[in-house]
Amino acid sequence: MLVLHAAWVLVVAMVISLVYEIWRATSKAGTSRHDSMQNLWGGLALYGIAAAVIAVLFVGPAWAAWLGLLFCVAWIAYGIFVFNPVVMLERKPGIIDWVEDLVFMGLLFVAAALLLYEVLGWELQR
């Protein structure tokens, strides 16, 4: 059950991220080198990978939790070491940028925690 919850959390996170990136590529085009339709098209492969990982989580093979956990940790590391210190600052962020970043990263941490619980065999109690 934790894997399914993590999958839904990742669906929400990726939809928020994709909508945000579309907004940046259209209404904020040219603000930075990261805000263009060309950059958006180049980044769609990452959303394709995310969709594949989420699909595996929904299907639920035994190794799905490990795959999802590695995926979350990779995105979190990218956010901490690349996106926030480089991309975010070059974009001259406003309130929408910071809120999206906090929500997206927070959802990744929630999904990672759920998947870690699954991998460790722990359960959430009611």
78-109 residue pLDDT tens? 999 999 999 999 999 999 999 999 999 999 99
Q: What mean pLDDT do residues 109-123 have?
A: 97
- What is the enclosing helix (H) or strand (E) of 11? helix 2-27
64-82 residue pLDDT tens? 999 999 999 999 999 999 9
Is 31 a residue whose pLDDT tops 90?
no
% of residues, the chain, pLDDT over 90: 87
The per-residue pLDDT for 63 is 97
DSSP result, 37-51 = HHHHHHHHHHHHHHH
Within 10 angstroms of residue 14's Cβ, the number of other Cβ atoms is 20
The Cα 72–Cα 124 span in angstroms is 20
Q: Distance between terminal CA atoms of the chain?
A: 13
pTM for this model (two decimals): 0.93
Q: What mean pLDDT do residues 46-56 have?
A: 98
